[in-house]
């Protein structure tokens, strides 16, 4: 994000996002390597492999267990590293500054849709049709709260957060956010930290989805699970982006809002809308 919060996930959050999914993914991959070679995925086909593993442990004693644990740790670390790289790729696709080849057409398409809805809202307001004006304004705001400048919805939400705070408060959010962070109430900082971590973890979930897609090369169920998880991660990322941007913008507005007037409710509503 253009304006990164000075926070990092806690140990238990990192374990929930990487270690536990890594063990599940390794188990899924192992099962896929066994069942994927068969025409029919029969769970009973796993039994001979489990029996052979137990016999191997029995013959080797403590040394076998030690080597198995070491191999599991190394495999888990490798899976976590792969998931981290896949998460970075997911973020680059979902929240890009620009995309080669397809970026410009996607941005232009979003701009045309936004401008059409904005013009329709202005025309409806000019002729006094409040209901139509609100409907077109809602359609415009669903695309973006400011004129689109990025190729994807999530990237535009982040860009709109920065442009709206700049237009309203003449604030460079990327530069000033660490200073504002120090002045925020502890509860506000904790809420923002929670939202930021959820936002980042949605990309990690997308990374695991990509790894599951890779297992589709050995087991068709991996491709199905990967596509399903990718869609879930996309929904979570959109929800987290919307919540984080709205909460951070509200925190900035309330911190930099002008003194209360005789109509505080109206003023706060106008400040929140910023003409959108």
Q: Where are the domains of the chain?
A: 11-35+44-96+152-273, 100-150
Question: Which residue's structure tokens are 């029996």?
Answer: 51
Q: What is the pLDDT of residue 56?
A: 59
Closest CA to 17 of 215, 226, 208, 209: 208
Which regions of the chain are under pLDDT 70?
1-12, 36-62, 64, 258-276
Q: What is the pLDDT of residue 2?
A: 47
Residue 26 CB-half CA count within 13 A: 17
Q: What is the pLDDT of residue 195?
A: 92
Q: What is the pLDDT of residue 219?
A: 83
Burial 97-133 (b: 16+ CB within 10 A, else e): eebeeebeebbeebbebbeebbebbeebeeeeeeeeb
Closest CA to 181 of 252, 276, 230, 250: 252
Task: Quote the tokens at residue 127.
Answer: 């002729």
Given a contact cutoff of 8 angstroms between Cβ atoms, the answer to whether 25 and 86 are in contact is no
Q: What is the pLDDT of residue 265?
A: 55
Q: What is the pLDDT of residue 169?
A: 85
Q: What is the pLDDT of residue 27?
A: 86
CA–CA distances in Å: residue 90 to residues 22, 201, 202, 224: 17, 11, 9, 18
Q: What is the pLDDT of residue 5?
A: 66
Q: What is the pLDDT of residue 228?
A: 96
Closest CA to 235 of 153, 143, 160, 126: 153
């Amino acid at each position: 994000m253009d304006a990164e919060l000075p926070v990092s996930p806690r140990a238990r959050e990192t374990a929930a996002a990487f270690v536990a999914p890594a063990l599940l993914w390794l188990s899924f991959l192992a099962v896929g390597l066994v069942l994927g070679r068969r025409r029919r995925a029969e769970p009973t086909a796993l039994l001979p492999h489990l029996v052979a593993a137990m016999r191997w442990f029995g013959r080797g004693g403590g040394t076998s267990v030690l080597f198995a644990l070491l191999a599991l740790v190394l495999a888990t670390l490798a899976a976590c590293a792969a998931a981290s790289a896949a998460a970075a790729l997911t973020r680059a696709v979902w929240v890009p500054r620009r995309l080669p080849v397809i970026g410009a057409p996607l941005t232009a398409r979003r701009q045309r849709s936004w401008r059409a809805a904005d013009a329709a809202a202005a025309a409806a307001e000019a002729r006094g049709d409040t209901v139509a004006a609100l409907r077109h304004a809602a359609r415009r705001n669903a695309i973006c709260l400011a004129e689109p400048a990025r190729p994807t919805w999530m990237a535009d939400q982040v860009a709109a957060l920065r442009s709206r705070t700049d237009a309203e408060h003449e604030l460079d959010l990327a530069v000033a956010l660490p200073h504002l962070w120090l002045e925020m109430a502890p509860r506000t900082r904790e809420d923002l930290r929670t939202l930021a971590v959820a936002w980042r973890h949605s990309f990690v979930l997308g990374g695991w989805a990509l790894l599951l897609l890779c297992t589709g090369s050995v087991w068709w169920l991996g491709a199905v699970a990967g596509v399903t998880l990718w869609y879930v991660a996309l929904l979570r990322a959109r929800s987290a982006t919307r919540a984080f941007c709205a909460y951070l913008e509200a925190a900035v507005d309330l911190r930099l809002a002008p003194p209360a007037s005789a109509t505080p409710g109206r003023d706060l509503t106008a400040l929140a809308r910023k003409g959108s």
